[in-house]
Amino acid sequence: MNSGVRMVTRSRSRATRIASEGCREELAPREAAAEGRKSHRPVRHPRKTQKTHVAYEAANGEEGEDAEPLKVPVWEPQNWQQQLANIRIMRSKKDAPVDQLGAEHCYDASAPPKVRRYQVLLSLMLSSQTKDQVTAGAMQRLRARGLTVESILQTDDDTLGRLIYPVGFWRTKVKYIKQTTAILQQRYEGDIPASVAELVALPGVGPKMAHLAMAVAWGTISGIAVDTHVHRIANRLRWTKKMTKTPEETRKNLEEWLPRVLWSEVNGLLVGFGQQICLPVHPRCQACLNKALCPAAQDL
């Protein structure tokens, strides 16, 4: 009896399905479409993730993927381009001490490359807290004895001190020169390092010397060389967001906004300007083309 019930149940289910399908075939097209919408749930397509589009400025005024990205405005000092142009005019004669006696003029141009680079580094080490004329004189005396890594290591401290005197802190520089020269011979085969990080790790070598050594000895612009002249003038012209206390702080401020193409020029330009017009004490503001544009001049 149970099997008969099962057979009847299957029979009714099949009959119901056949009847239903038969009715569907007789529906009008519009009714069939309506019936389809009722009997079938709509297919849900995954939503496309919206992408954030970066604006590009195209040459024809339209946006395009190949255009240059819009630059985010950065801080820059007021009137700096006019101030720089005026300083170039005042420095056009190239007659400041740095122009004839700077580090790029103190080495022996006929010496092998490795020796030239060593002489550049040594002249920079001597130049700290020392006038260019005094540094050039010390370099001339050293070169007369054959200025190489080997010759310095063979020179006793007393003799080396007499040769470099009267550069600033000459006793300390004797010690640093000997230590650095020994490191160059042991670690760099008598050459100087080709990176700022390795240069500043040498005894007596600071960031300014390292960046100048990279530029003069290796021909690489690694950063702005900031000495006391550049530090003083940058603060007087307000070329930093706020007044800075050290040359290294000034360097970081300048590199944030000054176009990189000017990094190699700004040291020699401002050093000579500081030697001739923008003096540490009693600056010659009356002779300066930036008198009306310089905030410091208004306070004097």
Tell me which of 48, 114, 173, 208 is the catalytic residue.
208
- How open is the CA angle 209-117-210, to the nearest 5 degrees? 20
DSSP calls for 181-250: HHHHHHHSTTS--SSHHHHHTSTT--HHHHHHHHHHHH----S----HHHHHHHHHTT-SSS--SSHHHH
Q: Are residues 181 and 223 in contact, defined by beta-carbon separation less than 8 angstroms?
A: no
Rounded Cα gap, residues 7 and 251, in angstroms: 96
State the sign of the Cα–Cα–Cα–Cα dihedral 14, 16, 17, 19.
Answer: positive
Tell me the β-bridge partners of 68: 57
**Is 291 considered catalytic here?**
no
Question: Which residues are the active-site residues?
Answer: 208
